[in-house]
Every structure is written in structure tokens, then in C-alpha cells.
Amino acid sequence: MSPRTLIAGNWKMNLLRGEAGLLAVALADHMRSATSGAEMVVCPPTPLLDTVAAKLAGTPLGLGGQDCHAESAGAHTGDVSAEMLRDAGCGFVTVGHSERRADHDESDGLVRAKAEAAHRAGLIAIVCVGETEAERDAGRAVDVVTSQIAGSLPEASTAANTVIAYEPVWAIGTGRTPTLDDIAEMHAAMRARLGDLMTDSDAVRLLYGGSVKPSNADEILAIANVNGALVGGASLKAEDFIAIHRAAG
């Protein structure tokens, strides 16, 4: 049986409280009556978690953080712990997004420690991986991504506590996407690599992320081994994000 499709929205550093509340209400209304069996999760900026959590209460719409520190508490100004996210109502957290790997120099080892923290706090870690354009042009995309997976996954990772998001760096926010064959090749390679690392690798949800929008969601979500999408820009517009969720069937 295929794992349950997951459509996750990464709001990044966007929206103020009023806008976030309106977006959350529109998505919550959709989820109350949605016929699609796909799960939907939104990952707002940390200061908006309470506002969004209040709007989602009692609906099947999930909440996630965008990052967490590896430790549970301490002298780490500006950071948030996985336990704090859990306390704020989150069930998920993205770790290792390419913008964090690039802007904050995050290594696979650090991403792994953050995923461990997520598991410790009872959160599902959405572990992000993806090659740069230069790496793809050099024919190294599969090697780069499978090695990121091996380096970023804690030993205790299971299909229940971990989701992997393949996000080619050059496709994020650019309107460009890999060919459907390239996505299929990468997702098959990821599934095979996970088979060496986990006993329930077939049940792990593998998301594609990078310029997913209503016009390409159908064909991307139909690819073998694609079990959902991580969506940036299009998750900020209720109409677009709902259309992507509907495309998940």
C-alpha cells in the first residue's frame, strides 16, 4: 500500500499575523470538507504558530515548524527547540532546508542532530535534501542527494517519524522544475538508498519540492515514489495550495 500523500506548505519568512490568520482559516475550511485523502500541513514562521494553531484547532490540518535547535533548551539566542514547537501545537518540523544549509552553513551532521531532536520531542522530521545546479550539470545529482540522506538521517528514523523532501536547489522559487523522468529517477534512487538504512523504507513518504504549482501538481504527484509535495510560494495563496491538495486525489 502506498503511504498517505502529504502536502506541506513552507511559508518561509512571509506573512504577518492578520494575513496568516486569513490563510489558515481558508485552509482549515477546505480541510473540514475535503474529499482528498491527502494530509495537509502548514509550516508558518515561529511567531505565527500560536495564531495559526488557534485557527486549525479541531480540523485535520497539521502544523509544523521550519527549523529547530538540536538541544531542548539553553543559551541559544534566537533559536527554538523541538520541544517548544511541540508545545506550540506542531506535529512536524522541516530540517535541512537548502536555504538553511546555505544561509546558516548547516551540514548533514547538524541536520541529523536536528532530526534527532525532532524525534526526541515527538515531531515528524521533514528532512530536506537536494542538489545544486552545478552538481546536476556535473552528473552528480543522485550521488549528492543519496549521500545527504545517509548523512542527515538519525539511526532511529522510521516511516512514522521521518519524511524526506527532495528539493533541487535550482528549482526552489525559480519556476523551473526537473523533467518528470529526472524526478522519477531521483525518487527511485532515494527509495533504494533508504532500503539500506531503514527496515520500513517502502513506507517512508518522499516529497518533491521546487516550484510546485496547480498547473504541474497533477503530473508530479502521479510519479512513482512521489508521496507528496513540499510547497513554498504556492502555499501562500489559499486557492493555489488547495488546488495542489486536490491534485493529490
Strand residues in 27-134 grouped as ranges (E)? 39-43, 62-65, 92-95, 124-129
> Which 3 state secondary structure label does DSSP give 165?
strand
Piece in contact with ligand PEP (CB under 6 A), picked from 58-66, 106-114, 203-211, 237-245: 203-211
Of 47-55, 73-81, 136-144, 208-216, the window that binds ligand PEP (rule: CB under 6 A) is 208-216
Is the Cβ–Cβ distance between 130 and 210 less than 8 Å? yes
Q: Which residue has its beta carbon closest to ligand PEP? A: 232
- 167 catalytic per annotation: yes
- Judging by DSSP bridges, how do beta strands 228-231 and 62-65 pair with one another? unpaired
Site string for ligand PEP, 95-124 (x = CB under 6 A): ------------------------------
Residue 228 makes contact with ligand PEP by CB under 6 A: no
Residue in 97, 119, 187, 245 annotated catalytic = 97
Residue 96, all three cell numbers:
535541512
- Contact call for residue 212 and ligand PEP (CB under 6 A): yes
Three-class SS state of 29 = helix
Q: What gap in Å lies between CA 140 and CA 124, rounded to an integer?
A: 29
* Cα 238 to Cα 30: distance, rounded to the nearest angstrom: 9
By CB under 6 A, tell whether 232 contacts ligand PEP: yes
| DSSP-derived secondary structure letter, 153 | S
Cell of 101: 544549509
167 binds ligand PEP (CB under 6 A): yes
* Subset of residues 45 to 74 that bind ligand PEP, contact rule: CB under 6 A: none
Is residue 97 flagged as an active site residue? Answer: yes
Pick one of 10, 46, 81, 225: the residue that binds ligand PEP (CB under 6 A).
10
Comparing CB distances to ligand PEP, the nearer of 198 and 207 is: 207
CA distance 69 to 118: 9
Q: Which residues are catalytic?
A: 97, 167
The residue ranges that bind ligand PEP (CB under 6 A) are 10, 167, 172-173, 209-212, 230-234
